[in-house]
């Protein structure tokens, strides 16, 4: 897994809004350690680093399930 993208970069690459990204995290579609991880330490709300490939795959699978 390559957690290289910032949240801003992920939003641009995935072409979704920040509120959609937050909703997908809350719904369990995007999971910590699999799609994103904390990029800092010692802070209450550290920035996140994203694995764009894994995240795109999860969104594609979700879309296929929704259409079926």
Q: What is the pTM of this model?
A: 0.83
pLDDT single digits (tens) 5-19: 999 999 999 999 999
Residue 31 maps to which CATH number? 1.10.1660
- What's the confidence (pLDDT) of residue 39? 84
The alpha carbon of 14 is separated from its chain's Cα centroid by a whole number of angstroms, namely 9
Nearest residue to 24 via CA among 67, 4, 66: 66
Give CA–CA dist 56/63, Å, rounded. Answer: 11
Nearest residue to 10 via CA among 30, 40, 26: 30
Domain span including residue 20: 5-67
- Number of domains present in the structure of the chain: 1
Q: 4: Cβ–Cβ under 8 A, 6 or more apart, which residues?
A: 49, 50, 51, 52
Quick check: helix, strand or coil at residue 50?
A: strand
pLDDT single digits (tens) 26-51: 999 999 999 999 987 766 778 999 99
């Amino acid at each position: 897994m390559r957690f290289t993208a910032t949240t801003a970069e992920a939003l641009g690459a995935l072409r979704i809004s920040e509120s959609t990204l937050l909703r997908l995290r809350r719904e369990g579609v995007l999971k910590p350690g699999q799609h994103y991880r904390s990029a800092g330490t010692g802070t209450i709300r550290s920035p996140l680093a994203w694995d764009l490939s894994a995240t795109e795959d999860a969104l594609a699978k979700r879309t296929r399930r929704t259409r079926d």
